[in-house]
Amino acid sequence: MVERLRETGVSDLSVLHAFYRVPRHLFVPDVFEARAYADEALPLGQGQTISKPSTHALFLQSLSLSGDERVLEIGTGSGFQTALLATLCERVFSIECMAELAGRARARIEALGLSNVVIRVGDGTYGWRTYAPFDAILVAACAEKVPEPLVEQLRSGGQLLIPVGGAETQTLHRLTKEGEGTVKDEVIAPVRFVGLRSEPGDGEVSR
């Protein structure tokens, strides 16, 4: 899988090393274990998927993490990207709206001995104010518009990666907070993700 990622243009050695360290087959349903290292998205159940390895690599390489960041992930899913992040930064805070997926991801990450990850169940559109500001925020679901709380919870110089669009057309955006009220927005690549779920409330209730 690492060699295939190189062939697709992934050149960040720390990202490639993260894929080498984290066994993807532990994060897919048993029925798909034989396809775990193919560059394809796989179903997790409940209408959710684990993204292609090349998509995860695109996210991670776009951030150019140095190892000392505090990162917020919206959409824990299988926990695979969460585990990759845990090898690339200082602390990972991850929010998943489905309790069953969050529980499975937490168990997998603990089994790998990754102790710098906190996962909670909640509405990711509100972010996680308790631990803000963040050096980076990754959203593993598509939004029609960028949730303002996520931009607010970036530190100055921080980056937000989020798929933006509708069911048919989506693009990955990288927003860089350059100062109060100033945000640079770059389009990275076309992508395809499930929709970002949002519920009424303040999003701060943990389970």
Residues annotated as catalytic (active site), given as ranges = 51
Helix (H) or strand (E) holding 138: strand 134-139
Question: Could you tell me which residues come within 8 angstroms of residue 124 by beta carbon, excluding any fewer than 6 positions away?
Answer: 74, 75, 95, 96, 97, 139, 141, 196, 197, 203
Report how far residue 55's alpha carbon sits from residue 192's, in angstroms, rounded to the nearest whole number. 9
Contact 151, 176 (CB under 8 A): no
| 28 token code pair | 């897919």
Alpha helices by DSSP H, 66-147 = 80-88, 99-111
